[in-house]
Amino acid sequence: MGGTVTVTDGKLTAAAVLPVVMRGRLAVVAVLASLVVLLLGVRYAGDSGPGRTDARIGEAAYGVGAPWWHLAHATDFLGDPGGALLLLTAGVVGCLRARRTRAAVLLLAGPGLAVGVTRLLKPLAARTINGDDNLAFPSGHTAFLTAFALALALLAAGRSGLGPTSGTVLALAAASAAGALMGWAQVATGAHYPTDTVGGCCTALAVVPAVAWAVDRVADARHPHDG
């Protein structure tokens, strides 16, 4: 996860975790993702059962047999505290060994804040599954894995010097793949409705670019001539 010196707002800085060429496009993605979370939250607020789309998808995905059941549970573990800690530790250690402090901060703060936002939104949406005590929307597990994959993709795009289109495609592809995998696992194990996982994925798409931008701004302000 090495990086090169870049120019940000006319200043020589260490490699940005949010590549400058991708900022505009990811800002649009973040706004659209926020709208999706808002609309789904309003649509399913207070519900205690699946919508029509949820029911159709859930019927196909829920209760899969071996080996898919084991894969679903293994994927679910990655969103649990133990699994998340393993992923974050590996990522942060790799960044620090490469002397990428900004990258390490993003890998911690991006997924962490994405999950934090889902916890704030759940009581507001008040959608439940498997009992009144289990708040469902949006999915924190899906938000975490999506955010982690998106952060890694941003770092990879910056290191590779990808352009705005290719970099954005990489970021969205990685985030979508991770979100789809964890979303499937959540539905297959009966932990969430499909629309909960969409909300979790979109929460990550809204939060991580903002966190990456903030990390760069704070780092540049503290070390304006770093690099």
For the record, the structure tokens of 24 come out as 């505009």
Q: Are 30 and 209 in contact (CB under 8 A)?
A: yes
Cα–Cα distance between 181 and 195 in angstroms, integer?
14
Return the C-alpha torsion angle 111, 114, 119, 123, nearest 10: -160
User: Position of tokens 């798409």?
Assistant: 205
Residue 11: band (very low, low, confident or very high) from pLDDT cuts 50, 70, 90: very low
C-alpha 198, offset from chain centre: 11
Helices assigned H by DSSP within the chain: 23-43, 52-61, 68-77, 81-97, 101-125, 140-160, 164-188, 194-222
Is residue 40 very low, low, confident or very high in pLDDT (cuts 50, 70, 90)? very high
Asked if 109 contacts 207 with a C-beta cutoff of 8 angstroms, the reply is no
What pLDDT score was predicted for residue 223? 65
Check: CB of residue 179 under 8 Å from CB of residue 142.
yes
Lowest mean pLDDT among 40-54, 142-156, 174-188, 213-227: 213-227
Q: What is the mean pLDDT of residues 217-227?
A: 71
